Amino acid sequence: MAVMKMVALTMIGPDSEMGFVAREMVLTGEFQPLPLDVLVNDRELRSKITTSTENPYDELLSKVTSIWKVAGGTIPESSPVNIGKEFTLSNARYKVDQISKRLEVWDERRRNLQEEEEVFSAAKILLETLKDTEFTPADLIDSDFVVAFFGRIINENYQRLADSSNGSLIAINELATMKGNKWLLILTTPDYEESTKKLLNAVSFKEFSLSEISQQLEGDDPFSLLDRRLDGHKKAIKGLERVARDALHEHRDDYKLLYSQLYTMQRVYDVCKGRGEISGMFLLSGWIPADTLESVKITVEKEAPMTTIIVEETEELERSGIIVPTLLKNNFLFRSFQDIVAMYSLPAYGEIDPSPIIAISFVLFFGFMFGDVGHGLMIFLAAYFMVKNGMMTRSFGQVVKSSAVSSMIFGVLYGSVFGLEDIIKPLWLSPMRDTNLLIVIAICMGFFMISFGLILNMIKQFKNKDFGRLLFDGQGLAGLILYWSLGALAAIKITGTEISNMTANILLVGILLMIVLMIFRNLLASTLLRQKSDGESTVLNLFGIMHSLLSFLSNTASFVRLAAFALNHVGLSIAVIMLADMVHNLPGGIVMKGIILLLGNIVIVCLEGLIVFIQTLRLHYYEFFSKFYDGGGTAFKPVGWKKSDMKHFADSK
């Protein structure tokens, strides 16, 4: 029952204040922006509003980020900082340009040197290949009969090139393999030149100009010349990298502050993407939890006195078809079970949140079906290990660990430890010896859950002011009384209890009266309650009554599975123990027995534990939720400080 009340607010103020207001909305983590056209209904006013969609700080943040990349440093962790009014967009651009200008020049020079270094390395590879032949790079260029391509290709694409060139006028000569690349000299005929170029482009062949390489090989000792040039370029590249690192180290604090300032404004402008401008005033709209409204008002009144806040209640917005987001807020005991509810569907705004109920009934059902001290301990330790090593989310791990604790408690009540019922004395009952009592308890639990679901549905109809369904519907008061009456008759029949004729007649009359009320639900609602009819005919109501009666029977019977799986757990454990005892007297029997007991218990925990978990979900989703829960809610997604921090506000509490 923890769906938080939301309000929609629109803030209107000058540009000098709206930047601050948007920044505060980002830092609170409690604001979900809304497009202006959702809340601004006046078409004439809406046509005058202009909306900015581009974030001018994206480019600036990218430039500052490149400072660390160029200098080989680690990009700093961003943190929210105060932004003074002097930190304007133009000032930010000037600062970024001043810082990045030198680094960009150094980085461009370094890239040019690296490209030249690669040409020298390529020339050296080609020269070493041709040194024992009669040919030179100039011969390959001037040939009238052969067209040569020289370059490298990554190893993964080499086989593609070889396969594609089969049967064609292409000769592939592998010269060297280094750093994941193969250096190739490819020869073809002039007529096949264009086709060869297309093939090489398709396999990402990096070609080096033979003319440019030939120029590097002039002189009497080209090998020494290339070595000197390579050595000089490597020293120059290292020098440029060192200068960039020194510049970063010298001004690290200033650069880090600028980065945080830009990141802050970048997030602020992300909030402002949906803002609009009209006659020099800016508008910003969004959802916030109602309990934060007063603090927002106080902050805006104090720091942005020229900004006006317009608050709109959700009832009016819902009537106009606007979907209000859902924000769940539960205490630490119930919060993890919000995920169980969300797996079915998030509650719609204003709907009952069943998370607190599920937190109790889920662990109760799981423990009832899987009551065992040893197996519960195994599940608890496995969940703890998986959460600690990041293999399971903390929230889901809490659900599993709570279920495991319930399993251990019921194990004490059943006197069951790893399926053995003679180690400790049961404090309550033994599933194998008290089977009939176990089944009765399971049916009673189902009867209670279904009745509770009908009561919750009545609360829901009361909130919706649909008193006709509350009183006369098969899922309302009439259906609840009918269900209790049928349950009382069934209990009397099964137990053989003697009742008077008057009591029997009262029960029968009550059942018939509830059925009549359900048949004429719409007529009674319109005449007695002056409520508008929902359009359903009496014939449809008859089918609805038949469905209610069948669902009462099937839903109640479905809870017998609580007892069935409790017995199944004992049976599987006994089967494992018997199989282990069968090999005890064989050669190496003690070892084999230990292996069977170990593997058998692991299988029970993994296989049966998963099945019981699924059956627990099923009892809630189909037998319980079907009585009152619709779901279909849209999660409240506030803008957070981090770009990836778009998550339920409840998770951050």
DSSP letter for 346, please: P
Q: Which of 48-52, 77-81, 239-243, 323-327 has the lowest mean pLDDT?
A: 48-52
pLDDT at 536: 63
Q: Which of 73-77, 328-332, 419-423, 547-551 has the lowest mean pLDDT?
A: 73-77
Q: Are residues 343 and 224 in the same domain?
A: no
Full 3-state SS string of 219-236: CCCHHHHHHHHHHHHHHH
* Cβ–Cβ < 8 Å for 637, 351: no
* Cβ–Cβ < 8 Å for 274, 36: yes
* Cβ–Cβ < 8 Å for 565, 615: yes
Q: What is the mean pLDDT of residues 389-403?
A: 94
Q: List, in order, residues 6 or more apart from 479 with CB less than 8 Å away.
A: 454, 473, 514, 518, 548
Question: How far is CA 93 from each of CA 63, 84, 150, 342, 589, rounded to the nearest angstrom?
Answer: 10, 16, 44, 45, 79
Inform me whether the pLDDT recorded for 49 exceeds 70: no
For residue 371, tell me if it sits in a domain: yes
pLDDT at 623: 94
Inform me whether the pLDDT recorded for 142 exceeds 90: no
Q: Are residues 339 and 233 in the same domain?
A: no
Q: Are residues 542 and 408 in the same domain?
A: yes
Q: What is the mean pLDDT of residues 53-57?
A: 70
For residue 105, tell me if it sits in a domain: no
Calculate Rg over the CA atoms of the chain. Answer: 38
For residue 647, tell me if it sits in a domain: no
The total number of structural domains that make up the chain: 2
Calculate the average pLDDT of the chain. 83
pLDDT at 79: 66
pLDDT at 562: 95
pLDDT at 487: 93
CATH of residue 212's domain is 3.30.70.2750
Q: Are residues 219 and 351 in the same domain?
A: no
For residue 215, tell me if it sits in a domain: yes
Where a domain ends, among 217, 237, 257? 237
Where a domain ends, among 237, 255, 277? 237
For residue 34, tell me if it sits in a domain: no
Q: What is the mean pLDDT of residues 224-230?
A: 79
The values of phi and psi at residue 225, to 5°, are: -60, -45
Q: Which of 6-20, 424-438, 450-464, 624-638 has the lowest mean pLDDT?
A: 6-20
Q: List, in order, residues 6 or more apart from 613 with CB less than 8 Å away.
A: 366, 403
Residue 73 banded pLDDT, cuts 50, 70, 90: low
Q: Three-state SS for 171?
A: strand
Tokens representing 146 are 């052969």
465 Rama sector, left if φ>0, alpha if ψ -120 to 50, beta otherwise:
left
For residue 78, tell me if it sits in a domain: no
> Using CA atoms, how far apart are residues 161 and 345, in angstroms rounded to an integer?
52
pLDDT at 411: 95
> Which residue, chain included where needed, has tokens 């109501």?
541
Residue 271 banded pLDDT, cuts 50, 70, 90: low
The widest CA-to-CA distance across the chain, in whole angstroms, is: 126
Full 3-state SS string of 473-528: CCCCHHHHHHHHHHHHHHHHHHHCCCCCHHHHHHHHHHHHHHHHHHHCHHHHHHHH
* Cβ–Cβ < 8 Å for 485, 511: yes
Residue range of the domain that includes 491: 335-627
**Chain centroid offset of residue 310 CA:** 33
Q: Are residues 232 and 349 in the same domain?
A: no
Question: pLDDT tens digit string along 494-507?
Answer: 888 888 888 888 98
Inform me whether the pLDDT recorded for 42 exceeds 60: no
pLDDT at 230: 79
pLDDT at 272: 59
Out of 127-131, 462-466, 529-533, 618-622, the most confident range is 618-622
> Using CA atoms, how far apart are residues 195 and 324, in angstroms rounded to an integer?
61
> Using CA atoms, how far apart are residues 17 and 21, in angstroms rounded to an integer?
6
Q: Are residues 208 and 348 in the same domain?
A: no
DSSP string spanning 12-62?
EEEHHHHHHHHHHHHHHT--EE--HHHH---HHHHHT-EE----THHHHHH
Q: Are residues 344 and 219 in the same domain?
A: no
Q: Are residues 492 and 604 in the same domain?
A: yes
321 Rama sector, left if φ>0, alpha if ψ -120 to 50, beta otherwise:
left
* Cβ–Cβ < 8 Å for 13, 308: yes
Inform me whether the pLDDT recorded for 644 exceeds 50: no
Inform me whether the pLDDT recorded for 645 exceeds 50: no
Q: Are residues 226 and 351 in the same domain?
A: no
For residue 383, tell me if it sits in a domain: yes
Out of 19-28, 213-222, 427-436, the most confident range is 427-436
97: closest CA among 262, 246, 264, 236?
262
Inform me whether the pLDDT recorded for 38 exceeds 60: no
* Cβ–Cβ < 8 Å for 288, 9: yes
pLDDT at 599: 93
Return the amino acid letter for 534.
Answer: D
Q: Are residues 344 and 465 in the same domain?
A: yes
Q: Are residues 473 and 622 in the same domain?
A: yes
Out of 43-52, 567-576, 582-591, the most confident range is 567-576
296: closest CA among 653, 635, 31?
31
Q: Which residue has the higher pLDDT, 279 or 652?
A: 279
Question: pLDDT tens digit string along 173-190?
Answer: 888 888 888 888 888 888
User: Is the whole model's pTM more than 0.75, yes or no?
Assistant: no
Where a domain ends, among 237, 261, 280? 237
For residue 64, tell me if it sits in a domain: no
> Using CA atoms, how far apart are residues 624 and 454, in angstroms rounded to an integer?
9
Question: How far is CA 54 from each of CA 40, 80, 270, 273, 494, rounded to the nearest angstrom?
Answer: 22, 22, 9, 7, 73
